[in-house]
Structure 1
């Protein structure tokens, strides 16, 4: 199966590197050409060239607008029967189902495959994939997807993968923003932050952020390379739109919306979302959890 990849940034580049590292060539396109070669892919001159030269086209793009632009202008006009397009972005489920229908009319298949685990899991080939679309098509794509993932879940029909991704990212956003607030409070209270984290991780306050993020952040390592504050805010807004359509009340969305909105407003828009703790610290008297500068 010939593999194409469009969008070789923070996540796409790492996924492509896993594929090429396993000995499978990738035909790649990115708005920044250096990203293609850095990911070990063969540069393509256009999205159309990737589509023409691939049996499976992987997409890793920042939002639904970018996905629609790539698919509608570059992929769809050249799509053919039997071809598989896999969207690894975090996108609107409504947009996803529309693209699924359009590609299906040309005989091509479309899978929405939200990813979880961040840059570290991508580098290890241990991402979790939540996939919507045909189960049969997923089995055809599985050998490629397994090159950069540790767990693959079929979540249901088209759009289901992106719905599950939004639910997951909302909980991730709550855990990160709430833990950031707690850690700033712990710092101002004069606590040993390593001890505080040990207590949280042994108690009922444990979450992904306390286990995997803040043990590094408190020593100045922000784990750069993952989701930015801008993209986290985008994901929470997509979640709010989703639950509004479903008729589900969302009193808990105000916290992460405020936290990541503040981070954007205070100059951390394009920084990794872990820097939300610095934004909260800025408004709490210039608090930093560590004494040195942030490591890259």
Structure 2
């Protein structure tokens, strides 16, 4: 048990949100969820609530795990949204990969109602969530953040307070762009190696102990070359959203854009080839398609 004595309401029960919800439930947190289809809440072992308004009215913490900022804005500020039913002292925790400027505006609107707002996006993949081994990047008022430590400790092995509200989402964008770079670049190298006649297992062994080592080499490709794409993570289209967020909201503003165009092209090609709603690791197959049908594995 967390000992918090606080009830959580989860909005967003997709691949990551659902796993976070289940983890909280299994660690003793009292939690309910909302989705237009109640069965999508029940599949994660949670009790469904009929509406955002009803959920907000019966919880202390509203946890958002949604696709992007426009969806968060609609859920929080809509006619029947969170703030329409919120009461003073509640806290909204936004685990979405969202835009910092949108987050800051929502936090200001929440503050007018006496409601706290903390951005707390996560990293670590869908396989880390059930074990409580995520990384959380937090932005918000120090006292509000400190009061949520029980929540973060239930889902994460690494919690980093990055600064005022919006700082967590800014950090997440930077992290996800670097993630996209390493995944796309490693995919290209592995496809090129296979097409040129190398054994991909031997190639990956070299990369894992050499200067080309990165997160994709260490954690993704040992599975991918066996035909396991580690389903459950973010999709190709959501990766495109994160790369565009980096390019439009950070890189160009600060004059540091260099590597982004090639990475964006790789994932956009994958989406155009029909991989958009599949896990982002499938970018390796899109690059393989462009190379004449190259696959790193023999599994169908």
Fold shared per TM-score above 0.5: yes
Distance in 2 between residues matched to 1:229 and 1:254, nearest whole Å: 16
TM-score (norm 1): 0.97
* Partner in structure 1 of residue 262 of structure 2: 255
**1:140 corresponds to which of 143, 147, 160:** 147
5+ residue gaps, structure 1, are none
Shift of 1:5: 0.5
* Partner in structure 1 of residue 248 of structure 2: 241
* Partner in structure 2 of residue 69 of structure 1: 74
**1:84 corresponds to which of 91, 112, 117:** 91
2:44 counterpart of 1:39? yes
**1:96 corresponds to which of 103, 114, 119:** 103
**1:46-93, CA deviations, whole angstroms, 9 ceiling, x for partnerless residues?**
011110011011000001111111101210111111101000000111
Alignment of structure 1 residues 202-281 onto 2, 5 Å: 202-244=209-251, 246-281=253-288
Shift of 1:24: 2.0
Q: How many residues align?
A: 293
* Partner in structure 2 of residue 291 of structure 1: 298
Shift of 1:2: 1.1
Query: Residue 200 and residue 12 in structure 1: after superposition, are their counterparts in 2 closer, same or farther (change >3 A)?
Result: same
5+ residue gaps, structure 2, are 1-5
2:183 counterpart of 1:183? no
Distance in 2 between residues matched to 1:9 and 1:232, nearest whole Å: 15
TM-score (norm 2): 0.96
- Tell me the SS of whatever aligns to 1:251: coil
**2:30 corresponds to which of 9, 25, 34:** 25
Provide the alpha-carbon RMSD of the alignment: 1.0
2:10 counterpart of 1:2? no
Shift of 1:31: 3.0
**1:242-292, CA deviations, whole angstroms, 9 ceiling, x for partnerless residues?**
225632230110121001000000000000000000000101011111112
